[in-house]
Chains A and B, each alone.
Chain A
């Protein structure tokens, strides 16, 4: 038998090194494991410093011994390749394994083992773990804000209906596929608005707002039948005219009153809150910021210098200021700019502010897509005799938007993560409700549970969104 050089593990003594290395590695893991799960300190007899470092040294030696190239054992080779390529990596791997083992017991015991789930008063929360009872008791507030308990079915109904209507795209047959864009851009937002207007608010909250929406959507629908030559002038004039006609000549308040469903109480927007408000705000801002952003992206690349300068000014202004000051502006400065008898609900003001803010970011993202398109696309479209609008709608934008899906998704993610800022205007979505709940004298001291709960919810939403956008990106990836 050849002599063994312990400083140079090699294949000739594979088994010796393998057994020795695995044993040392196992011992080191076992020591940390027992230490953290059962509070057993195997190396307690050693000085403090050594007993802390011992598992690391043992594990390092173990990993050193089993680091044998081309050992012929598949699992060993995989292990070496992935966590044990050299000394430095071995130490880092060991440290990460130790951190995971060390941090599991406290996390588990806080979340599950020592946590209290039962009951509905503070008294049950005596353990050292989390008090999920607090979340359970306050669940309705976190989900619906100050919305009256008896009326909450309205929010649920609206959301269920909107999710169902939103999933229409998955079931559409080929025959209807071509109308999907129209459906999602125009009809679906209209339905969503009507749901929120009639069911969730139950009254004339969005007064002037509703006329604007109806005017905009009507003019877009009619716009499809206008020859492209006049389209620009059409969109400059008609929406405003429609708005004026609707507001002052056609829709009187009786019509709104007629449209009200019987038996629904009006719930003012100040009472809205919780997670449902997060959804409502994200949804509307998402709908509004996209067309506004697209308009400014096109404006920034327009051949008319004045339009270009105005677009650049708009975009740079909103991108240069923090959202919190924009909301401040919408809360304290904006009312000064309006006629005295003119009142806009603070939720609407917040939605407008966030939409304009995010629109600037969307505009920059879309501009990136427009710039990435080769000139040939523009020239080809022009040579076919297409006008500006036809060229953009049928040739440029479909390709440009495909390119910027990840960027748009990131902007929307940022939008969802920015919604908690509406506490500035006095609206309380889920984070705001948490801050309110934690100051309740009956439930003091449960801030941690609340924030962890909200963090989990937001994490799930945002992670799902980013994964979905990644899938979209893969789906629409076209090689060029």
Chain B
């Protein structure tokens, strides 16, 4: 090994600078905290939080700990992200394909949608839906039922609740169906490679995924009933709906704007992916006698997905990070519950902000590690 001063010095200086800056910050933080009489530590997490959260997926009230408040916020963040991702993906794929349509009107309509929603700040869109559009909805007592069971009011969306009996049997039946499909697919692939016969996997899968849960209803003793929300009068002018599940307007505004906004980016990813597959591939596949469906399934999609998936995952990450804008309309997500209310109450700025950032960091880094692994797996093996 040949050590060169030229190689060592720049690194040393950089590291020294970083250490100095961090040391400076830590030193100041210590002095500042001493002066203000704050002690550093994460012990507050187990203390009683004594604040309420208006919407939570798990049982929570003021008597629970700060850590449980953190979980409430985290779950709310995940809830809005997952719903947003599902809607954005469906919408994005449709719009992305529509962008490639030979139909002039559809093409321009999709382009208009993309250009319109992409160029307006997300926060503005959230405000628009929450403060302007959803505020124009009727009061609970004036709301008209959609399909007889949904009630969209200024206080949120009321949907019927599912009441299950023997839900676990239903759940197992779905799991069994999925396992059966995987087994059949593997078997079909083997048969095709060995004997050249094709088994109609798709039809069998569809049949399985419907029939097994159906069987669980018929013979498994699974019962499903709906609890429809009913209007109830509290006072002369105050009404609420009882029963069913209520989705707060904050959640609706947030999911709506997040998915409308992110769908534009996903649409562009999908378009770029499909356009990225060479025309020759399509023609070659057609010339060896594949049907248009097979061309799409066996030739275009596997190659297009290779281009589509990495940027789309990035968009999922963006959506998750953007869900922190919830704080602006008081949807109790991680930032609002933890970095907002809990920070105000405890004054533990460094601890709380660092936990919040660390949570998001873990989320994105784990997804990007998964992504890199996937990318390596599907990458074309070049010599």
Contacts and interface: CB of A to CB of B under 8 A. Distances in A.
Interface in A444-460: 447-448, 451-452, 454-455, 458-459
Nearest to B265: A410
Contacts of A75: none
B121 interface: yes
A322 B321 contact: yes
Given A333-B350, A336-B29, A340-B31, A462 B14 contact: no
Interface in A231-255: 232-233, 236
Contact of B360 (A306, A322, A459): A322
A310 B31 contact: no
Listed residue (B14, B335, B350) with the most chain A CB atoms within 10 angstroms of its CB: B14
Interface stretch (B5-13, B153-161, B179-187, B247-255): B5-13
Interface stretch (A6-14, A187-195, A413-421): A413-421
B189 to A, nearest CB: 32
B202 interface: no
B337 to A, nearest CB: 13
A423 interface: yes
B33 interface: yes
Nearest to A448: B132
Nearest to B365: A320
Contact of B10 (A93, A232, A316): A232
Given A320-B360, A455-B124, A307 B103 contact: no
Given A307-B14, A332-B343, A89 B103 contact: yes
A325 B124 contact: no
A424 B326 CA distance: 12
A340 B34 CA distance: 12
A89 B10 CA distance: 64
In the A-B complex, the 4 residue pairs with the smallest Cβ-Cβ separation, listed nearest first, are: A462-B119, A82-B104, A322-B321, A337-B25
Listed residue (B14, B103, B128, B135) with the most chain A CB atoms within 10 angstroms of its CB: B103
A256 interface: no
21 contacts: A83-B103, A89-B102, A89-B106, A236-B17, A307-B11, A324-B327, A325-B335, A325-B357, A328-B353, A333-B350, A333-B354, A337-B32, A339-B28, A340-B32, A421-B123, A447-B127, A447-B131, A448-B133, A452-B128, A459-B116, A459-B119
A463 interface: yes
A25 to B, nearest CB: 14
Interface of A: 81-83, 85, 89, 92-93, 96-97, 232-233, 236, 304-307, 310, 316-317, 319-325, 328-329, 332-333, 335-340, 413, 416-421, 423-424, 431, 434-435, 438, 447-448, 451-452, 454-455, 458-459, 462-463, 466
- For chain B, the bracket of interface size reads 35 or more
Given A93-B103, A328-B353, A336-B350, A431 B127 contact: yes
A93 B325 CA distance: 37
Contact of B361 (A317, A338, A452): A317
A83 B119 contact: no
Contact of A321 (B103, B322, B343, B361): B361
Contacts of B102: 81-82, 85, 89
Contacts of A82: 102-105
Contacts of A447: 127, 131-132, 135
B124 A336 contact: no
B339 A328 contact: yes
Interface string B115-140: 11011111111011001110110000
Contacts of A339: 28, 31
Contact of B321 (A321, A332, A431): A321
Contacts of A417: 119-122
B204 interface: no
A306 B14 contact: yes
A321 B32 contact: no
A426 to B, nearest CB: 13
B115 A463 contact: yes
B349 A322 contact: no
A462 B120 CA distance: 8
A280 B136 CA distance: 35
Contacts of B354: 333
A338 B25 CA distance: 6
Contacts of B109: 96
